[in-house]
Each structure stands twice: as structure tokens, then as C-alpha cells.
Structure 1
């Protein structure tokens, strides 16, 4: 953050600090073109397969504050994941997600492990944009992109 450089770009023309009305309109247009579809619950689904070895879905929905995007939680999952398919295990997906994010945003991730060794998170910071990657479940990888310059309060939208 000391660089005073803002990095607001996320993906598909979506950015940190994008206002909610613009975000919903933009996603509506991408939905009409078949780029985005409905995911589970309020999640938005994007077929990110072009960046991965196997068919991969990305699910996302931003957190807003003062009607602007301050954080983008996402999760990735192989479309054909199954417990018995070693080729589609979450450890492979983590590596592919990190590679896709490096392709999208450049740079490298730093591996951070909790003191007891139970949790591992890969972190990358570009100016105000922090990206965290970690295993969410047996089948999915979480990515959280946060605007570090956004104030700490939360707003529901």
C-alpha cells in the first residue's frame, strides 16, 4: 500500500469500488450474453474453464459498503469433481487457481501457514488489492479479493 497505487481491476470488467447499480447492470448484460449464469443462492456463476486444465466453475458475489464493492469473495470448483477422481482433487485445483490469478494479475503469492500448521493461505498484495487463496472444502478453493483502503464497517445490499 505504500506505493500509493490503486489496483481496482477484478475480472470481466468488474472492479473494486464499482457501485452496486453499475455492477448489477453489468452482470445482467453478461448474463444476457451467456457469460454469467445463476449459481447456488445469490452466487453468480462463471465458466472459467479456459484458464484451467479441466472444466472449472467460478462462483462469486461481492460485499458492498456504501453501495460500492469493497471485497470479492469467490470460490472455484471443478465442474466434474468427485471424491474418487484423483485428477480433480482440491490440491490440484489450488495450484491451478493460483496460476490463473498470476496470469490475471501478475506477481507471485506468498505462502503463509498458521502456527499449528492446520491452515495454509497464499497471499498477494498489489497496492490496495489483497488476494487470499485457501482450501475452502474437500472440493473447492476460496479466493477473497479485498480493497485494503476501504473502511472497516460492513453494509448489506
Structure 2
């Protein structure tokens, strides 16, 4: 019995001494700053109501800026000159219990993607999207490599706003922009 307690205490001590990951240090530092960055893109922002999101999309659709994405499951914005090749940016936010935006999943794909053309693959698109996001949100993205090779990501945390960019498959780059102070994100991240 005493031996089991000693082993338990030893395991807790070792776990407490484990260094925090670069990501965890960055996240804690930025959250402690209490800086709020709620802007997303195209006038969307964290805390925007579902009703206001739909109204904004409707207005931009009437202006020809946005259209319905594939299968009517997303909103589609066309990036004509912002990347190396014209691309589609598809997005649809996640809303919390108050029907306010707390997370914005986004997908990018080059319009002319072809499996035989490596310049239009997600390997090229990933760096292209990262560079565009640095134009939109500033520099400071950090590349975090998954030691098991499951998913490596570019990450930036600015106060409450976390941006992650990663390859979804051979043609698609995914990004999510999350309000890390929202209770829903704390549940997901924890």
C-alpha cells in the first residue's frame, strides 16, 4: 500500500516537472495579456450573432462578394489575386449557446487544383495561406510539428484569438480561428 502511494507521488512529481510545450507557453502568455482581438475577416467577428452573420452574408451576396459554397454547407469567397493562384475560401462559423460566433473553420483550395500539378497541391497552398494570414493578422506564426506525424500546424495566438493553419488533404488547407476565452473552446482545448 505504501509502495503504491510512493509510486503515485513520484508520477505526480514527474508530471509536474514536464516542461510545457511551446504552444502551451504561447497560449498562456497571450491569455494572461487579456488583450482582445475579435476581428476575423470580411467584417465578421467573435461575438457576432447568428442573425447578424446571415444578414452580413446576404448583403455581401447581393454585392457579388460571397456565394453559397458546395452543397449549401458553407459560404464561399473567391480569392482572385491574394494567393499565387486564384482560390476558393469556404467558411461557416460555429456558434455558442448565445448564438454568437466563437470559432470560424475555413478551407482553402486552388481553383485550378490538379493532382498531377504539385504547384496547386496543399503543400504549396499551405505556405501561400500562411503568408496571406501574416498579411491579414501580422507576423508571428509558429510551426508546430506533431511528433507522431498526425498533423503539423502553423499557429498564432494574439490575446484571445488563436489561428491554426494545416493541410486537410492533398488539395485542401484548413484554418480555424478561435476565441480561446469562450467556454466552448476551453472544453475543446482542455
**TM superposition score normalised by structure 1:** 0.94
Q: Deviations over 1:11-44 (max 9, x none)?
A: 1111111111111000100000000001013110
Cα RMSD (Å)? 1.3
Partner of residue 63, structure 1: 94
1:7 pairs with 33, 37, 51, which one?
A: 37
Could you tell me how far apart the structure 1 residues matched to 2:48 and 2:42 are?
Answer: 12
Could you tell me how far apart the structure 1 residues matched to 2:40 and 2:54 are?
Answer: 15
2:165 pairs with 104, 124, 133, which one?
A: 133
Could you tell me how far apart the structure 1 residues matched to 2:57 and 2:184 are?
Answer: 26
Q: Report the Cα offset of residue 75 of structure 1.
A: 0.5
SS of aligned partner of 1:99: helix
Query: Between Structure 1 and Structure 2, which shows a larger proportion of helix residues?
Result: 2
Query: After TM superposition, which residue ranges in structure 1, 4 or more long, deviate above 6 angstroms?
Result: none
The answer as to 2:179 corresponding to 1:147 is yes
Which residues of structure 2 form unaligned runs of 5+? 1-30
Partner of residue 4, structure 2: none
Query: Between Structure 1 and Structure 2, which shows a larger proportion of strand residues?
Result: 1
The answer as to 2:148 corresponding to 1:116 is yes
Could you tell me how far apart the structure 1 residues matched to 2:104 and 2:164 are?
Answer: 11
Alignment of 1:6-25 (within 5 A): 6-25=36-55
**TM superposition score normalised by structure 2:** 0.78
Partner of residue 81, structure 1: 113
Partner of residue 94, structure 1: 126
Could you tell me how far apart the structure 1 residues matched to 2:131 and 2:95 are?
Answer: 27
SS of aligned partner of 1:11: coil
Which residues of structure 1 form unaligned runs of 5+? none
Q: Deviations over 1:64-105 (max 9, x none)?
A: 011100000000000010101122121110000000000000
Partner of residue 54, structure 1: 85
